[in-house]
C-alpha cells in the first residue's frame, strides 16, 4: 500500500511539474531520484525540475522511497 502511495505521489508530482510548463518553452530533464524519506526525495525532485512544490510533509515524513533510475 505504501509503495503504491509513493508511486502515485511521484506520478502526480511529475505530472504537475510537466503540465505547469509552457509548451512554447519545452525543456527536457534527466531526473535522479534517490532512496530516502519521501518528503526529502520530492523536494529534491522539485529542485531538479526547477519547480516549486507544496506537500504535507508531516503526513509523509515517515514514508521511505526507493530509488528510481
Q: What local confidence, expressed as pLDDT, does residue 67 receive?
A: 82
Domain around 57: 2-65
3-state secondary structure of 24: helix
Alpha-carbon distance 9 to 30, whole Å?
A: 19
Q: What local confidence, expressed as pLDDT, does residue 23 receive?
A: 52
Residue 62 banded pLDDT, cuts 50, 70, 90: confident
Q: What local confidence, expressed as pLDDT, does residue 22 receive?
A: 52
> What pLDDT, in 10s, does the model give residues 1-47?
677 778 777 777 777 766 655 555 666 777 778 888 888 888 888 88
Alpha-helix residue ranges (DSSP H) falling in 21-66: 38-48, 57-60
Q: What local confidence, expressed as pLDDT, does residue 40 receive?
A: 86
The total of structural domains in the chain comes to 1
Amino acid at each position: 500500500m505504501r509503495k503504491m502511495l509513493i508511486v502515485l505521489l511521484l506520478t502526480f508530482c511529475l505530472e504537475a511539474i510537466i503540465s505547469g510548463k509552457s509548451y512554447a518553452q519545452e525543456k527536457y530533464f534527466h531526473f535522479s531520484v534517490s532512496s530516502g524519506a519521501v518528503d526529502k526525495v520530492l523536494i529534491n525532485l522539485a529542485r531538479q525540475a526547477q519547480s516549486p512544490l507544496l506537500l504535507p510533509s508531516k503526513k509523509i515524513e515517515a514514508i521511505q522511497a526507493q530509488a528510481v533510475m
